Amino acid sequence: MIELQNISKVFGTGEGQVHAIDDVTLSIDKGEIFGIIGFSGAGKSTLVRCINLLEVPTGGRVMVDSKELTTLSAGELRSARKGIGMIFQHFNLMPSRTVFGNVAFPLKGSSLGREEKENKVRELLRLVDIEDKENAYPNQLSGGQKQRVAIARALANDPKVLLCDEATSALDPQTTKSILQLLKKVNKQLGITVVVITHEMAVIKEICGRVAVMEKGKVVEEGEVFSIFANPREPVTRDFIRTTSSLHKIEGLLAEDSPVTRIKPGEMIVRLSYVEKNVSEPLISTVSRNFDIDLNIIFSDIEIIQDAPIGGTVAIMSGDRDQIALAMKYLAEKNVGVEVIQDAGTNL
């Protein structure tokens, strides 16, 4: 649906040049929710604005729905842009128009009759669940309500693609969740391809199927969200994942000599990480029973991403050392990552 081929974007000239996008190639499929994550300045906004040519790339080709946008005339581009809706962090609503007026605005030049336009706007307001506010002005709405209106407006011309530039970054966590659910509904119900730009891994985790990680204008890692979470390659990706998991907290607890991490001879602290989609068995109890070892869980952080558990458990393991070695082998065969964080040695 969206093909970005060798996209570059350079701002400024001479000494002051900024290579905001540096040779990015990405392919986004029809009907998917694709995430682009990166820290501030990585080039995400510039890249997403290259998809609808709000920013004209310095080099490369942009194809959307089989049209090469980079070769279109101004008129052709205007019409192609109708197929690409966009929403923003600060909503960008027109303050002097009502909710109805904002959503009706993109229909101005359309061939629909007056009644059809009204029906269309009301249908959109219903879809985003804000029909009771049609006569309100933007300054009478909460952030979440404003974003709902912005989504309705972005959908007015029946786009095939919806670009979301930090669409939830100005919202509280609860409202963020409800807007993400709405984007999911728009994707499923209308079959719209959604591209989400964010600096929050929680957003990616919540709705995206695939993700590209950006750093210094380049895509440094790309793949299915589950695989990226399970096996992040790049330090920047690990940093993002760290922000959403508490499994790394064990190092902090050990450093501060927390009572929960004090172990006796014969015990060891292990971290078990679930990195495959097929981990579904009750592994802890199976291991404990089959190998006659004790596993006392210090804490767990397991979430469901794309219908599979991911995360892990930090536990104190004790028992016969040969049995522990066999248990670790068994866990590794089940594709569970096993790390010994601290070992108090045998009690012999």
Q: How far apart are the first and last CA of the chain?
A: 64
| Out of 7, 42, 51, 228, the residue judged to bind ligand ATP by CB under 6 A | 42
35 binds ligand ATP (CB under 6 A): no
Q: Which residue's CB is nearer to ligand ATP, number 169 or number 178?
A: 169
| Out of 24, 26, 38, 205, the residue judged to bind ligand ATP by CB under 6 A | 38
Q: Which residue's CB is nearer to ligand ATP, number 12 or number 252?
A: 12
| Out of 2, 7, 20, 208, the residue judged to bind ligand ATP by CB under 6 A | 20
Q: Kindly state the number of chain residues that form the binding site for ligand ATP, as judged by CB under 6 A.
A: 13
Distance in angstroms (rounded) separating the CA atoms of residues 304 and 324: 28
Strand locations in the chain (E): 2-11, 18-28, 33-38, 59-64, 67-68, 84-88, 161-165, 193-198, 210-215, 218-224, 267-274, 294-305, 308-318, 336-343
Segment interacting with ligand ATP (CB under 6 A) among 34-42, 98-106, 246-254, 275-283? 34-42
Outline where 99-219 has alpha helix (H).
Answer: 99-104, 114-127, 143-154, 173-190, 201-207
Q: Which residue's CB is nearer to ligand ATP, number 88 or number 226?
A: 88
Element (H, E) at 235: helix 235-242
User: What's the closest the beta carbon of residue 198 comes to ligand ATP, in angstroms?
Assistant: 9
Outline where 7-142 has alpha helix (H).
Answer: 44-51, 74-81, 99-104, 114-127
18 binds ligand ATP (CB under 6 A): yes
* Near ligand ATP in 236-295, by CB under 6 A: none
User: What's the closest the beta carbon of residue 38 comes to ligand ATP, in angstroms?
Assistant: 5
Distance in angstroms (rounded) separating the CA atoms of residues 24 and 278: 33
44 binds ligand ATP (CB under 6 A): yes
Q: Which residue's CB is nearer to ligand ATP, number 45 or number 193?
A: 45
**CA proximity to 303, closest of 252, 251, 246, 253:** 246
Q: Which residue's CB is nearer to ligand ATP, number 7 or number 298?
A: 7
106 binds ligand ATP (CB under 6 A): no
Token pair for 140 = 């009478």
User: What's the closest the beta carbon of residue 345 comes to ligand ATP, in angstroms?
Assistant: 48
User: What's the closest the beta carbon of residue 298 comes to ligand ATP, in angstroms?
Assistant: 36
Please say whether the dihedral angle defined by the alpha carbons of residues 249, 253, 259 and 262, taken in this order, is positive or negative. Answer: positive
Token pair for 262 = 């004090």
Distance in angstroms (rounded) separating the CA atoms of residues 142 and 147: 9
* Near ligand ATP in 164-223, by CB under 6 A: 199
Distance in angstroms (rounded) separating the CA atoms of residues 250 and 253: 5
41 binds ligand ATP (CB under 6 A): yes
Segment interacting with ligand ATP (CB under 6 A) among 44-52, 90-98, 121-129, 252-260? 44-52
Positions touching ligand ATP (CB under 6 A) are 11-12, 18, 20, 38, 40-46, 199
